[in-house]
Amino acid sequence: MKTVKFITVVALVTIFMFKNQELKAQETENKITITYKGRDVTDNFMFEDSRGNPINFHDLHPSFESETNLYNNDLIGKRFVVIYKWVDVMLFDRTGVANGKTMKVKRIFKFFLK
């Protein structure tokens, strides 16, 4: 009986530690200088780093306001400094109903022209 309790406590502590690390990872802001390439067919924001590697962002944080609008095609080819975080977003089925699953994506929290 003591062994079962001990294993249960160890399992719960381990789960808590992993969840806590995951939350801290989501709170971390990342900063990168990249070139804007426009939007893809699902309205993700497409960028490219200095080595030509594609970097896509799911969306903008709802509270972020800027005079620069990434929906403006005149900005394609411009360099930006982008501050982003990894976040969980809800997934939906084909009818638009949340299916209870989530996916980690990059969300832009701030950006400005370089």
pLDDT single digits (tens) 87-96: 999 999 999 8
State the average pLDDT over residues 74-95: 95
Distances (CA, A) of 2 to 9, 63, 78: 11, 50, 63
Mean pLDDT computed over 72-94? 95
Helix (H, G, I), strand (E, B) or coil at 29: coil
The single-letter DSSP state of residue 44 is P
Is residue 7 predicted with pLDDT exceeding 90?
no
Report the CATH number at residue 102: 2.40.50
The answer to whether 87 touches 38, Cβ cutoff 8 Å, is: no
Number of domains in the chain: 1
Domain that holds residue 80: 29-113
Does 103 fall in a domain?
yes
Residue 103 CB contacts under 8 Å (≥ 6 apart), including other chains: 88, 89, 91
Residue 6 lies in a domain: no
Looking at residue 67, what is its pLDDT? 86
Query: Would residue 66 count as lying in a domain?
Result: yes
pLDDT bin (cut points 50, 70, 90) of residue 26 is low
